[in-house]
Amino acid sequence: MRRLHSGKSPWVPLAIHSGYGGLELWKIMNESINRKSAVASTVKDPELGVPMGVRCVALCALLVFGTTVAFAQSSSCPGIHVKILNIRNSTGTVDCALFDSPAGFPVEVLHSAMKVMVMKVRNTQARCDFEDLPPGTYALAVIHDENTDGKLDTNWLGIPKEGYGFSNDAKGVLGAPSFSAASFFYDGGILDLTISLHY
């Protein structure tokens, strides 16, 4: 039988050896367990002087929490990351339109917007992430499309019945704000914005 010696620990038989039958193997394993169940925790790494059991627990914790941190930092990618505030309910979608010029802002979303994101509302929260963007001047228009018809519903006077908002919290006089009022400069890095909806 081969034996493994680990510093001050007693000799511990290796459990698997081709010359043993089932009963002998079970006896060897049982003896090994009964000698000192703390043998594994007393075996120390010669370089660090830290018990192997502690190192294993620390490594597992690092793997579990390191993965969680990586997912939590998903907005660390370059881009414009927009958190939408004041969503009154969880029905429908939040539609975010990113414009890079005044042409069509904010009405001609499908024809003029550089990028459009449609996000389902969950727990009255939504977030739009625009990545792979060159540096430049942009403006955002956001609507809460509660009935998911793809447009901002208005009453007979043209007053919106669904939530809407713009970057810079821009407001228009008797209509939507201009591109210049809602525009901001993006330098190509990470830009976190918040847009509050108005109903």
User: What would the pLDDT profile of 92-140 be if each residue is shown by its tens digit?
Assistant: 999 999 999 999 999 999 899 999 999 999 999 999 999 999 999 999 9
Please identify, among 51, 72, 93, the residue that sits at the C-terminal boundary of a domain: 72
Residue 116 to residue 95: CA distance in whole angstroms: 7
Residue 51 to residue 47: CA distance in whole angstroms: 11
Determine the structural domain holding residue 40 and report its residue range: 3-72
Classified as helix, coil or strand, 70 is helix
User: Is the pLDDT assigned to residue 73 strictly greater than 80?
Assistant: no
Closest listed residue to residue 97, CA positions, set 84, 88, 78: 84
User: Using 50, 70 and 90 to split pLDDT, how confident is the model at 51?
Assistant: low
Higher-pLDDT residue of 32 and 88 is 88
Q: Given phi > 0 = left and psi -120 to 50 = alpha, else beta, which region is 158?
A: left
The answer to whether residues 20 and 107 belong to one domain is no
pLDDT of residue 35: 45
pLDDT of residue 174: 85
Q: CB–CB of 45/52 below 8 Å?
A: yes
Number of structural domains, the chain?
2
The answer to whether residues 62 and 151 belong to one domain is no
- Could you tell me which residues come within 8 angstroms of residue 71 by beta carbon, excluding any fewer than 6 positions away? none
Higher-pLDDT residue of 91 and 56 is 91
pTM: 0.62
The answer to whether residues 110 and 188 belong to one domain is yes
The answer to whether residues 158 and 190 belong to one domain is yes
